[in-house]
Chains A and B, each alone.
Chain A
């Protein structure tokens, strides 16, 4: 890129200064966080959580508590955009750095002359580092330790943070975060040269966006018409009747729930109890279904229940609630015995339920 003339840089600097003077400190709406678990539904649980395909210094997809920088304060004399150092996030003019960079983030530690943020970035701390209250600008009793948030003021000339304004309030980030971060990141301290971690290369970016997941299941034709079908999941503590499905027709049920992308959960179909849980086509107890919510708008899961565990050929139910009586060829159950064998007391013992 050709070097800009000095008068152009001066003009850009003046414009940037004017813009900065009219810009309030970043207090924006936080980005949408991954859908919290609960509500009897599977929760976000990716296995290797959100591994990044590249160097870890890039801001993570879930920008919770990430540093958000704003160009200098109104008194900042020069706010010429600096070198875009982080992944080409912004086309900024080269060789022009603001005298002061302010950015926000969640503190990890302040130790041995460095300030650490939860993004894993560390910055030099000025020997005269001031710790103040974010709201009052005065002294604070807060200690610069997690989970405190801070607005850092970084002096470009020394590359050190000269002030930390602390608060327990979450400092939000916004779309301008990427731009501001690029400026702040230029001053981060790098340790050993970054080398590739193979175990992180195959991850996918997951934003936690809401995904409409539709469960669609075919049940055995022997499923009683009056019975309900449920989904039980590990996130609902495997309560057998956690999520009731809607009947579509005699053989199909469905249920639509919204999950965050990246959610991972296990589930099984039941008829409301663990004695009436699905079993495989070969009659064996299968492992639970597992599902990982991808980064899509909607997803449909088609499953087939081949048989229920309580529907063996003899239709006897075995379990704490239902004790089969010894085989008795009287097919009419509770019919008075006198109908079939007048005058004869019932012969078969029946254990107490």
Chain B
């Protein structure tokens, strides 16, 4: 009997082209249905017709039920049901041309049915969607298993009405690279994916920001397994726009490369821009044993256009072209000893920054007249204004931390200690030390209530040795008519102390409330909108679900004694 089993002759279908009187997508269940005069064309050209079609996109199985006809080059069959299981590379058929029988097809080989073979017990079950609301209604659809569905002549359910959307591509892939984002942030964003294929999706986005108000943007995804490219134009409909591109390639199992480029322009339509600048970041990651070696490089072009004429007084373009590169190593989490709950992680790196371009012809507004070196240098060193076109640096750092230390027998009270320290040496010469110490205590009362308190001290020191006062002279800034005399004591060493406590209440999985109070004490004293943290900061956050697929996140943060009272309110809708 076993000898009668055959291996599949062909791969399962790679697409299903569905036509029906009514094609419906139920987003809560990830199910597509077709009702009335159903016609499905498989990728090999075989045509299936029936009264009803359903496909569970997540289960990756489909069913044609009632009055089923299979028509292809080698097959003309009539049946009561046809169940496709691409993951099993099998199709199950309930033959009705004569006496009822159960047939199994291997792959797309419909010429050689295997009769009597056992079939899944629920192969012909029709999902009960009586309690579900259609999300998309269309006349036809192309389903790419495990990837996306392109609905045509579709209508989308939005706030109680169905809005015509033409074509709509619904992605359900388990590949997260379809969600990579090349847009800058926005207060509101809704995507309109209008075109798709097995490896690509094109989408328009309706977005809103405080500066640009409502506008359209465009993005294009190309995805090949782990590799992807995302390109975006944002905003598409405004004169000032960004062209972003993110690329990722896994070169080998131990190496990956990532590219981010951005061109910022101000242009009317698609005419030559009046202003254009660019930025590129290239990153290589080499996997070592439990550690990583990263090589990153940045390149800036502050103007991609030709030099303006000197008489163009309104031209504020500057011409600069700095680059920097860094190779860094990050180690693994390593216990200090086998018997102590203390771990450490090391890091180090070596880098260079260089600026080799000049700002251009002397121009009043570009600053070249006042500062003829502008653009050639990364910094001026000291009061003698030593020009610094190239800076080398290297650094060493470590993180020392304890595991969560239980302080009570119930294992509900925990203590954590974290120390992070880094020193950077520069070719100028000077060095920067950064030290952050954090102590936190956490208490779980129940699974629904948790408290966390933390005290953190961050010290930042810029060491110039004997020339310290040359670089950090006594200075009292004045902003908005407010003087900050505390800065007179600032010598390049800052300290930030933060005491924070938070309580989180999670009565069930549909509701969450978090309250956080933070007290910051900084030196030098913070300057609102410019430097430092608000002395007092209170955050209330509530997350709750208003529908099966709509989550509301309401966050309000209040800043006290920081340029007056400044609340910040945010409402976010998510899945």
Contact = CB atoms under 8 A, between A and B. Distances in A.
B474 to A, nearest CB: 9
Interface in A176-221: 189, 191-200, 221
B420 A37 contact: no
B184 A327 contact: no
A274 B181 contact: yes
Interface in A110-167: 111-112, 114, 116, 118-120, 122, 145-147
B442 interface: yes
B460 A193 contact: no
Interface residues of B, number: 183
A111, A238, A283 interface centre (most CB from chain B within 10 Å): A283
B124 A118 contact: yes
B80 A111 contact: yes
B172 A234 contact: yes
B286 to A, nearest CB: 8
Nearest to A264: B58
Interface in A324-353: 324, 326-336, 338-342, 344-345, 347-349, 351-353
Given A49-B59, A111-B96, A225-B454, A313 B294 contact: yes
A47 interface: yes
Contacts of B181: 240, 273-274, 320
Contact of B287 (A118, A247, A257, A283): A283
Interface in B461-478: 462, 471-473, 475, 477
B506 interface: yes
A222 B345 CA distance: 10
Interface stretch (A21-29, A52-60, A68-76): A52-60
A302 interface: no
Contacts of B401: 221, 251
A43 B380 CA distance: 59
A327 B378 contact: yes
Contacts of A200: 118-120
Contact of A147 (B29, B52, B94, B351): B52
Contacts of B538: none
Contact of B531 (A221, A283, A307, A335): A335
Contacts of B125: 60, 62, 64-66, 106, 118-119
Nearest to A241: B574
A250 B302 contact: no
A252 interface: yes
Contacts of B553: 241, 244
B125 to A, nearest CB: 5
A256 interface: yes
Contacts of A320: 181-185, 232, 234, 242, 244, 260, 262
A112 B228 CA distance: 53
B102 A120 contact: yes
B543 interface: yes
Interface string B53-78: 00010111100011110000000001
Contacts of B289: 282
Interface in A64-120: 64-66, 106-109, 111-112, 114, 116, 118-120
B319 to A, nearest CB: 9
Interface stretch (B41-49, B198-206, B320-328, B561-569): B320-328
Contact of B184 (A55, A62, A353): A353
A199 B107 CA distance: 13
Contacts of B509: 256-258
Contact of A312 (B58, B179, B328, B500): B328
A238 to B, nearest CB: 3
B399 A221 contact: yes
Contacts of B414: 248-249
Given A283-B292, A351-B279, A222 B52 contact: no
A54 B121 CA distance: 9
A331 B278 CA distance: 24
B87 A318 contact: no
B126 A239 contact: no
A191 B101 contact: yes
A9 interface: no
B524 to A, nearest CB: 8
A58 B442 contact: no
Which label, helix, strand, loop or mixed, suits the secondary structure of the A interface? Answer: loop
A161 to B, nearest CB: 13
A120 B477 contact: no
Contacts of A114: 96, 99-100
Contacts of B420: 221-222
Interface stretch (B14-22, B306-314, B424-432): B424-432
Nearest to B530: A334
B546 to A, nearest CB: 11
A58 to B, nearest CB: 6
B464 to A, nearest CB: 10
A351 B450 contact: no
Given A282-B288, A339-B472, A331 B460 contact: yes
A337 to B, nearest CB: 10
A323 B242 CA distance: 12
B462 to A, nearest CB: 5
B355 A326 contact: yes
A282 B292 contact: yes
A196 to B, nearest CB: 6
A64 B127 contact: yes
Contacts of B393: 327, 329
A170 interface: yes
Interface string B103-117: 010000000000111
Nearest to A324: B298
6 contacts: A52-B121, A145-B66, A225-B440, A247-B452, A248-B450, A249-B404
Interface of A: 33, 36-40, 43-52, 54-62, 64-66, 106-109, 111-112, 114, 116, 118-120, 122, 145-147, 170, 189, 191-200, 221-222, 225-226, 232, 234-242, 244, 246-252, 256-258, 264-266, 268, 273-274, 280-285, 287-288, 290, 306-307, 312-314, 316, 318-321, 323-324, 326-336, 338-342, 344-345, 347-349, 351-353
Q: Which 3 pairs of residues, A with B, have the shortest CB-CB distance?
A: A283-B292, A191-B101, A192-B116
